[in-house]
């Protein structure tokens, strides 16, 4: 498993956190570690998904997302 931190823009409340967490949980191979206003940290199976696909799930939920370069 690899770790990824996303910078997430457009989140302002607990409902936003819940939407982002739900979107991330629906991506195959992703385990959500922590979602807070402005960021999300996940572990993922690189054989099942990619940082770009993970960020796209957040975008599809209505927020701007960008990996912050901390893929480990």
Do residues 27 and 54 make contact, with C-beta atoms less than 8 angstroms apart? yes
pTM of the full structure: 0.88
CA 32/CA 43 separation, integer angstroms: 6
pLDDT band at 69 (very low <50, low <70, confident <90, very high): low
CB atoms within 10 A of CB 32: 17
The Cα 56–Cα 64 span in angstroms is 9
Secondary-structure percent of the chain, ordered helix, strand, coil, rounded to 5? 30, 35, 35
- Per-residue pLDDT tens over the stretch 22-67: 999 999 999 999 999 999 999 999 999 999 999 999 999 999 999 8
Mean pLDDT, residues 14-20: 96
């Amino acid at each position: 498993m690899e770790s990824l931190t996303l910078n997430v823009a457009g989140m302002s409340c607990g409902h936003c956190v819940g939407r982002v967490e739900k979107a991330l949980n629906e991506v195959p191979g992703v385990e959500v570690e922590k979602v807070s206003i402005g960021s999300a940290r996940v572990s993922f199976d690189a054989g099942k998904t990619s940082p770009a696909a993970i960020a796209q799930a957040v975008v599809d939920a209505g927020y701007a997302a960008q990996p912050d370069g901390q893929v480990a």
